[in-house]
Structures are given as C-alpha cells and as structure tokens.
Amino acid sequence: MDVKYLKPWESELNICIRCGYCYENCHIFKVTNWESDSPRGKLILIYGLLTGAIEPTEQIAEKIFECFYCRLCEDSCSANVSVTEIITDARKTLLEDGFDVEGTTAQVAEDVCSGCGVCVAVCKTEATSLKEEEDGKKKASVDKAKCEGCGVCIAACPSGARKLKEGYKVSREELLSEIRNLLGAINE
C-alpha cells in the first residue's frame, strides 16, 4: 500500500491524544455505537494503515468512507487535529489501492441518470462530474475521495438517479420512518 497521501499526516496523527471528544457529536457513531465508526476510531485505523500495523480490508475501507464531513469532530478536538482532511487523504489512498466502497458517498443509478448535469452544478465540493459513455450519452460520476455525502445532489436530481446507502438514518425512507414513529408515539 502506497501511503504517500497519509505520510504528511503522521505527526498530526501522533498529536491526537485519543480523548474521545470527537465522537460526542458524531452522527455515525451515535447510529452504530462502534468505536471504529467514531472519528477517533477512524484516526486509529488510518494510523495503523500508515505504519503498516494493519493491512487494508474492505471493512476498514468502508469505515473510512463513512463520514458526513459535518466537522463537529474538528470543532470539539482539543488537539486541533484536521480529522476530515486526514480522512479525505485516507480515502484517496484506499481508492488507489483498489478499495471502491460506498460509505456515505452519493451513488448514481446510471440506468436512471439523464445526464442533465444539475448534480454537477450544485456539488459544492466538485465531487460530481459528467462522463461520456460509449454510446455518447453523458452520465453523472462521483469522485468518492471528494464526496462529503451532504445529499444536495440527491435532493436536486430531477430523475431520482442519486441515492445514499441506507443505514445512516438520513435517507428519505429512513427519515419518513422516524417521523411516522414519532407521530405514532404522540398519538398514543
């Protein structure tokens, strides 16, 4: 594994004091309650990848790609560690090493995508682009290292071709289910 993107972060990864303030506001940690889903857990995994103490796996890659970039972890970090920048560079490393996982990145249903480019126009991180297919039609494409999973492209897509993996309590169906549960509890 080539750690060229991670090497510049080695000293900052050593600055992290593993206090745990970062996970207090982490949505993904609150959903799963797994240490490896917390910002601190991700940094430990990334440090292990950097030092060679652990080998990359699909499961580790999935953990690294599970981040909504809310940056609440950075706001609460007493050591001022650049958590999201480190995660982005870890994503680049894993993608180059052949790990193409979903995590919280936006997905494109290419069979539904009309190639209108609305998602490209609204993407604040420039993670979405249009690529030309063999038949000459254009389809949306996502740079998974840049995608922050904000969902703007999903909300803007007129053809419904954009989605986010279920399980993070942020999809339309999961939110509607939560609302129904809350309304049901109020009516009881």
> Residues 117, 36: one domain?
no
Beta bridge partners of 107: 163
Q: What is the mean pLDDT of residues 85-99?
A: 97
Which residue segment(s) compose the domain that 122 sits in?
107-187
How far is the C-alpha of 20 from the C-alpha of 38, rounded, in Å? 9
Per-residue pLDDT band at 184 (split at 50, 70, 90)? confident
Q: Is 38 helix (H, G, I), strand (E, B) or coil?
A: coil
DSSP code, position 9: G
What pLDDT is attached to residue 165?
A: 86
How far is the C-alpha of 175 from the C-alpha of 56, rounded, in Å? 33
Q: Is the pLDDT of residue 88 over 90?
A: yes
Q: Quick one: tokens of 168?
A: 């993070």
Q: Quick one: tokens of 67?
A: 């981040």
Q: The domain that contains 175 carries what CATH number?
A: 3.30.70.20
> Residues 66, 111: one domain?
no
* Residue 101 within any structural domain of the chain: no
Burial class (CB in 10 A: 0-12, 13-18, 19+), 59: exposed
Q: Is the pLDDT of residue 90 over 80?
A: yes
> Residues 154, 91: one domain?
no
* Residue 1 within any structural domain of the chain: no
> pLDDT of 119-137, one tens digit each?
999 999 999 999 998 888 9
Q: The domain that contains 39 carries what CATH number?
A: 1.10.1060.10
Q: Is the pLDDT of residue 52 over 90?
A: yes
Beta bridge partners of 162: 108
> Residues 144, 90: one domain?
no
